[in-house]
Amino acid sequence: MANLPINSKYNAGLSRFFSSGILNELLKKGYSAFFKEMIQVSGLDKTIDDNITLREFLQIVYNHLCINYRSEYIYKNAIANKILLGQHSLKTTFMLTEFRVADCKADVVLINGTSNVYEIKSELDSMERLQKQIDAYEKVFDKIHVITSPSQIEKVERNLPLHVGILSLTKRNSISTIRDAQSMKHAVVPEVIFDSLRKPEYTAIIEELYGAVPTVPNTQMYRACRDMFGKLSSKDAHDSMVRNLKKRGDCKLLEEFIDAAPECLSAYALSLGLNIKETIQFKAMLDTEYKSFIV
């Protein structure tokens, strides 16, 4: 079942089933008022078999959205499945979502030997902020890609510099390359990279490259480290960022979660950072009948 017999006005609500907020509620509370209400008002409880598990239920809803409402999550999940898991490996590549860059948030960042950022412009998005986002990403990442729908390719091409790659999420939800991205890490800005890092990350980089962190009061540590980081070459600043961002992920735990989760939850699994106990709980939740979450 892919195209559910429900009113299209409920598609935006159904897409929220794949948000961390709703899934975390189900995991931690075993209940979500929004999840229950949306299933009932949309008529899903009368359409889908009572005995299927939550994993089967979510996959059915996801397949429906892939045809009828390709939200940002559909694009993120395609990147997770087709690029990260399809072309790379969790042993070599780490995925970040909603990564802060200046006053923007990068939709998806893949970190391996270098950095690739993916800005999503779905059928539901406008191009209003695209140039501002590209300007920010040029200061931090090696390769920049914009992924969009086939109907928006020409519009995107007109608004992008030639070094930015363009990808298309086809009607069959595969990813095709329209234009390759060019390496730009020689032009990144160390201070902007610094502001995207956590304190343990930038202090580790300073110690690695300078031999020690500055001997200053804690209230002055940020400014002192930022001044030192700003003196790095663009290449050294970028490459040290890559080495340290890769440490955010637990490869073994992610592999176990990905193996246990349905394909529709790959992006959620890769971005959430569950611990071992939560991973076990999530696996058990997926194998529970979905009706138990709406009683």
Could you report the per-residue pLDDT of 65-87, keeping only the tens digit for each?
999 999 999 999 999 999 999 99
Residue 147, CA distances (Å) to 76, 144, 254 in order: 10, 10, 25
Q: What is the largest CA-CA distance in the chain?
A: 66
Would you list the DSSP string of 151-204?
GGHHHHHHTS-TTSEEEEE-TTS-EEEEEPPPP-GGG--HHHHHHHS-HHHHHH
- For residue 251, the model assigns a pLDDT of 66
Instruction: Categorize the per-residue pLDDT at 277 as very low, low, confident or very high, splitting at 50, 70 and 90.
Output: confident
Averaged over 260-288, what is the pLDDT?
Answer: 85
Instruction: Categorize the per-residue pLDDT at 3 as very low, low, confident or very high, splitting at 50, 70 and 90.
Output: confident
Place of tokens 């637990």: 250
Averaged over 95-122, what is the pLDDT?
Answer: 95
Q: What is the mean pLDDT of the chain?
A: 92
Instruction: Categorize the per-residue pLDDT at 89 as very low, low, confident or very high, splitting at 50, 70 and 90.
Output: confident
- For residue 250, the model assigns a pLDDT of 65
Asked: is 74-185 a CATH 3.40.1350 domain? The reply is: yes
Structure tokens at 225: 């480290």
The helix or strand, by DSSP H or E, that contains position 101, with its residue range, turns out to be strand 94-101
Q: Where does CATH 3.40.1350 sit in the chain?
A: 74-185
Averaged over 212-234, what is the pLDDT?
Answer: 96
| Strand partners for 95 | 110
Instruction: Categorize the per-residue pLDDT at 2 as very low, low, confident or very high, splitting at 50, 70 and 90.
Output: low
pLDDT higher at 251 or 175: 175
* Inter-residue contact 87 to 93 (CB < 8 Å): no
Range with the largest mean pLDDT of 86-95, 192-201, 249-258, 266-275:
192-201
Find the DSSP H helices in the chain: 11-15, 20-29, 33-42, 44-47, 54-68, 72-78, 85-87, 130-137, 153-158, 190-196, 199-210, 218-229, 234-245, 251-260, 266-272, 276-286
Q: At 118, phi and psi to the nearest 5?
A: -120, 115
Place of tokens 């195209």: 3
End-to-end CA distance of the chain: 24
Averaged over 85-95, what is the pLDDT?
Answer: 88
Instruction: Categorize the per-residue pLDDT at 261 as very low, low, confident or very high, splitting at 50, 70 and 90.
Output: confident
Residue 120, CA distances (Å) to 54, 151, 252, 254, 270 in order: 28, 14, 28, 24, 17
- For residue 1, the model assigns a pLDDT of 45
pLDDT at 95 over 80: yes
What would the pLDDT profile of 129-174 be if each residue is shown by its tens digit?
999 999 999 999 999 999 999 999 999 998 899 999 999 999 999 9
Q: At 262, phi and psi to the nearest 5?
A: -70, 160
